[in-house]
Each structure stands twice: as C-alpha cells, then as structure tokens.
Amino acid sequence: MAVSLPAPLIGIVGGVGPYAGLDLAAKVFGQTRAQSDQEHLPLALLSLPHTIADRTAYLLGETPENPAFALAEVVRGLEALGATAIGIPCNTAHAPGIFDVLLAELARTGSRARVLHMIRETARLLAETQPGVRQVGVLSTTGTARAGVYPAILRPLGVVALAPADDVQSRVQAAIYDPAYGIKAQSSPVTPRARGELLAAAEHLRAAGAEAIILGCTEVSLALPERTLHGLPAVDPTLALARALIRETYPDRLKPLV
Amino acid sequence: MAVSLPAPLIGIVGGVGPYAGLDLAAKVFGQTRAQSDQEHLPLALLSLPHTIADRTAYLLGETPENPAFALAEVVRGLEALGATAIGIPCNTAHAPGIFDVLLAELARTGSRARVLHMIRETARLLAETQPGVRQVGVLSTTGTARAGVYPAILRPLGVVALAPADDVQSRVQAAIYDPAYGIKAQSSPVTPRARGELLAAAEHLRAAGAEAIILGCTEVSLALPERTLHGLPAVDPTLALARALIRETYPDRLKPLV
C-alpha cells in the first residue's frame, strides 16, 4: 500500500466480540508509559464481526463453519497494514480446533503474521503474579470449557484448571450469550443478572478449591473489572494479552506490574 | 491489498487522542442495533499518535508542523483498507487551518476518502435534540476556541457559541493537557481535579447564559459522561460523529435518538 507506516505496529483482531477489541486496545494504552497523545503506541484494530462465525457454536457443532478462516482474513488485513504483533481477544478462538487451523491457513496463504497466544500469555501472567497457586477456577464459554483450552496449557505448569459443574456452566454461558441479558447483547453497562450469574459461578469455583479465578472469556473481563472475586485474585487474559503485545513491540514502554 | 473486505466499512482516525478513538468506536457500537457479535458493523481504527503533532500547539504557533499531513496519511491508510466513511475524533483537528489543509492534501494525493465533519455533525445533533437553544457554551481546547471553530458553524444556524473567559479557558486547557492531572496524561480514570475544573467551567458558562453545553474536545467527553451539567443538556460531538458514521454507512442499523 502507499502509506508509510512505522514498525513495529500492534494489531488487534476486533469483533470477537466488538467491545472486547476495544477493551484490549484500552488495556494496551493503560499498560503503556505515556503522558501525551504522542507517547502512545501505534495500533490498528480491524473489527469485521459479521464475517466471523461464533466460536463456541462451532466447537459445539452447532455451525459447520470454522471461524478460523475469517479470523485469518482479518489477520492478513492487519498484516497488510504493517502489524508486527497481533492479538485476538477471544479465549475460545484459542481452542486448538480453531487456533491451529488459523495458523495453518496463515501458513498456506504465505502470511508471516505473528499472532500471540492469549492463553499461554495468561498462564505466564498467572505464574508471575500468583506463583503459589495450584488450583485455578476458569469462567469461560462452554466452547472453551469443552475444548479444555486452559487445562491443556496449565497442566504442564503443575496447575489444575477447575471448570464449573454443568448446571453452573450453563448459567455462565447464558450470562455471555443470552439475547435478553447476556453480555454480548448488553455490555454498556452489563446487566445485573449477567454479573450476578458470573459472581455466583466464581463463588462456586472458590468453594470447589480454586485459589484464583481466570476471567477466561473476554466478555467476562468486561463484566468483572474488579481485581479480586470473593477474596481470590482475578486473572484477566485481556490484560495478559495487552502486556504481551507491548512486550513484543516496545518492551521499554511497558509499565511494571502492580 | 489481498484481503477482500465488505463495503461499506467505518474508518476511525485514532490517536487524537488514543482513548478518544476508542470512545468513538464504543459509541458506534452503542448506537448500533445489535444483539450478537455478528450484528455489529465493520469498523477499522488506526491509531498512530506519535506521527501527529498536537493540534492546539500548531494553532497557537507553538509548533510549525501542521498535523494535517500526518492525519492525511492515517486517512489514506484507512482508505487503503476499504473505509468508506471516516471520522476524526478530535474537535481541534476540524479548525479550518488544519481540516482544510487535510482535505487539500487528500485531493492532491488523489485520495477519494470521505471524511465526515465532526463539528457540523454536532451542530446537526444540537438542532435535532435542542431545537430551542440559542446560546450554547463550548468546553474546548484553547486551539479550538481561538480558531473559532464552533462559532463559525453555529452562527449561520442562529446559535451563539459562548467561550469561557480567558482565565477559565486556561483551566480547561490545563484539565486536558496538564502532565500531572490532565486527561491526556490520565484518563482511566480521569483525575478528580480535571473533572472538577471542567464542571466549574460548565457552571461559569451557565452563569454567562448558556442553555446547553457542547463537550467540544474529545477528552472532555471522556471526563464528563453525564447527559446534563448543572441542569443543562450536554451535547457530545463524539456521539454526533458516531451516529453520522452509522447513518452514512448502514442507516437502517442506527438506533433512534433517546
């Protein structure tokens, strides 16, 4: 393209969901040392939600369309703009059935885009901030839970990932997706019912032995901004991904962890 | 570029300031009829703040670099991505000394990008929502105030734009720019001092006869989210621009004004 862009450029795959893309961008800005507009980092966000099938619906077999291909299209759009490190603020998109297909599709089409792995970055943040934790509860979509996304990454690190019991998981899924009160339908502000269901699920995980709670869906991060839940530390994958994007592009601009 | 993108695509010039870009995107999403990720509109945001000189500093003669040329570069980046209607969430960038130069630079380089005019859209929203108002107070940067951006647009509509007295205007400018407590340095959350200075300036404008208050700087919109100030309706240019971007791309998806 005709435009000269600086390198490096942070890229964000928006639309999964739309507000999660903005939340990730806000967290990149919030984790950057900056006192003026000019000190903030170059960032591009491309939000094409209508092209990307629901990730959980695919993993549960409710739609045959793997969202990996539409995600790859957005990644290539960001790459064409000059993005050198790209984040996808959707935990479910990191299930191997989607993420591995995305990487294969990028390789097939000759893309050299560098896509960070939100779940690995969350495990890294957990290890840095809560090194003693051995059992962690995960609030996620049913797609992320069934695909075992967090257990697969955490188990080798000696951390057990606890999922809610089925009936509680159904309520977490509804808090995210319900067309009347779910976060994807209403997120500014989130409905009290959606927040309440998530808080109840966090308490359920605490009672089951969780020593920390991973907000394992970007909509859950929007609904539960607090740093502790029922006394347990909340671990935010969107924050982990934001910090990783800065670390991989402008490491000297990354604020220290507080 | 190799990526097939849908038309139309909403484009946002980010970085002026960075959080104002996110606020505009959030308002586009908030003004869209949508109950799922897939129902939200395609949007691209390109935030390259380090390339764009401060708009007020240029208008006040503190820097010789007209930010219009860097803004044009970002507009061309969005155009290359396929953006069909573009918004710049910075009131000061719409001063003729910047905006007219931007349009001339786009024409010179063969760009066909369509850039909406935030100030005209604000005047339109004011006329739609507050048709009886004849005197309106404007909280803005000193650059926007000195350039007479709002008076030039509002006068032909029979509306008088009131600016704060010089000493109050200095405090508004500091609430936006101060490196210790200003909104450009600290916006999540905004400091109580910055908010307090802006609220005091709104009261000053009310006492001077204002019947409504225009939040005439995108940082002021971030700091004063309320819909009324000292009993006067607050008019938000970022909201006006968000609605215009939807109207010019997917008019049937625009929520009614409430």
- Three-state SS across A44-84? EEEECHHHCCCHHHHHCCCCCCCCHHHHHHHHHHHHHHCCC
Chain B CB contacts of A45 under 8 Å are 14, 25, 43-45, 47
Predicted structure pTM score: 0.95
- Report pLDDT for B188: 81
Find, in chain B, the residue whose alpha carbon is nearest to that of A34: B185
* CATH classification at residue B136: 3.40.50.1860
Identify whether B141 is part of a domain. Answer: yes
* CA separation, residue B107 to residues A26, A110, A241, B14 (Å): 33, 35, 39, 21
Contact A5 B42 (CB under 8 A): no
A96 and A161 housed in the same domain: no
Residue A47 CA to residue A195 CA, distance in Å, equals 25
Least reliable range by pLDDT among A65-79, A115-129, A178-192? A178-192
Neighbours of A60 (CB within 10 A): 15
Q: pLDDT-based confidence at A1, cuts 50/70/90?
A: very low
Least reliable range by pLDDT among A53-57, A235-239, B184-188? B184-188
User: Mutate which of B47, B188, B255 to disrupt the A interface (most A C-beta within 10 Å)?
Assistant: B47
- Report pLDDT for A48: 95
B225-251 burial, b for 16+ CB within 10 Å, e for fewer? Answer: eeeebeebbbbbbbbbbbbbbbbbbbe
A41 and A112 housed in the same domain: yes
Chain B CB contacts of A13 under 8 Å are none
Identify whether A40 is part of a domain. Answer: yes
A110 and A55 housed in the same domain: yes
Find, in chain A, the residue whose alpha carbon is nearest to that of B180: A35
Provide the CA B70 distance to its chain's centre, in angstroms. Answer: 17
Q: Do residues B35 and B4 lie in contact, with contact meaning Cβ atoms separated by under 8 Å?
A: no
B223: domain range? 119-237
A29 and A95 housed in the same domain: yes
Active site residue B178: no
Closest to B44 (Cβ–Cβ): which among A5, A46, A54? A46
Chain A CB contacts of B36 under 8 Å are 54, 179, 184-185
Neighbours of A99 (CB within 10 A): 23
Alpha-carbon Rg for chain A, nearest whole angstrom, is 18
Identify whether A14 is part of a domain. Answer: yes
Closest to A185 (Cβ–Cβ): which among B15, B26, B36? B36
Closest to B26 (Cβ–Cβ): which among A6, A52, A188? A188
Contact B14 A43 (CB under 8 A): yes
- Report pLDDT for A102: 98
Chain A CB contacts of B184 under 8 Å are 35-37
Nearest chain A CA: its distance from B200 CA (Å): 24
Chain B CB contacts of A15 under 8 Å are 37, 40
Residue from A150, A165, A157, A152 nearest A208 by CA: A165
Residue A195 CA to residue B12 CA, distance in Å, equals 31
Chain A CB contacts of B46 under 8 Å are 44, 81
pLDDT in tens, B25-76: 999 999 999 988 999 999 999 999 999 999 999 999 999 999 999 999 999 9
Identify whether A1 is part of a domain. Answer: no
pLDDT in tens, A103-152: 999 999 999 999 999 999 999 999 999 999 999 999 999 999 999 999 99
Residue from B175, B86, B186, B239 nearest A40 by CA: B186
| Beta strands, E only, chain B | 10-14, 43-47, 85-87, 135-139, 160-162, 212-215, 228-229, 232-235
Backbone φ, ψ for residue A47 (5° rounding): -115, 105
Beta-carbon contacts below 8 Å between A and B: 149
DSSP character for B52?
S
Closest to B18 (Cβ–Cβ): which among A29, A46, A50? A29
- Report pLDDT for B174: 97
Region of B80 (left: φ > 0; alpha: ψ -120 to 50; beta: rest) is: alpha
B220 and B233 housed in the same domain: yes
Domain count, chain B: 2
Residue B162 CA to residue B45 CA, distance in Å, equals 33
B130 and B177 housed in the same domain: yes
A85 and A22 housed in the same domain: yes
- Report pLDDT for A5: 52
Give every residue of chain B whose pLDDT is below 70, as ranges. Answer: 1-6
* CA separation, residue A165 to residues A204, B66, B192 (Å): 9, 60, 44
B126 and B113 housed in the same domain: no
Q: H or E stretch including B195?
A: helix B192-207
B109 and B187 housed in the same domain: no
Residue B42 CA to residue A195 CA, distance in Å, equals 28
Residue A188 has pLDDT above 90, yes or no: no
By three-state DSSP, how is residue A140 classified? coil
Identify whether A4 is part of a domain. Answer: no
Q: H or E stretch including A229?
A: strand A228-229
Which residues partner with B183 through β-bridges? none
Q: pLDDT-based confidence at A258, cuts 50/70/90?
A: confident
A38 and A107 housed in the same domain: yes
Q: pLDDT-based confidence at A186, cuts 50/70/90?
A: confident
B96 and B23 housed in the same domain: yes
Identify whether A51 is part of a domain. Answer: yes
Active site residue B20: no
Q: Do residues A9 and B15 lie in contact, with contact meaning Cβ atoms separated by under 8 Å?
A: no
A86 and A138 housed in the same domain: no
- Report pLDDT for B5: 52
- What average pLDDT does this structure show over A16-22? 95
Residue A190 has pLDDT above 50, yes or no: yes
Nearest chain A CA: its distance from B19 CA (Å): 7
Closest to A179 (Cβ–Cβ): which among B26, B35, B42? B35
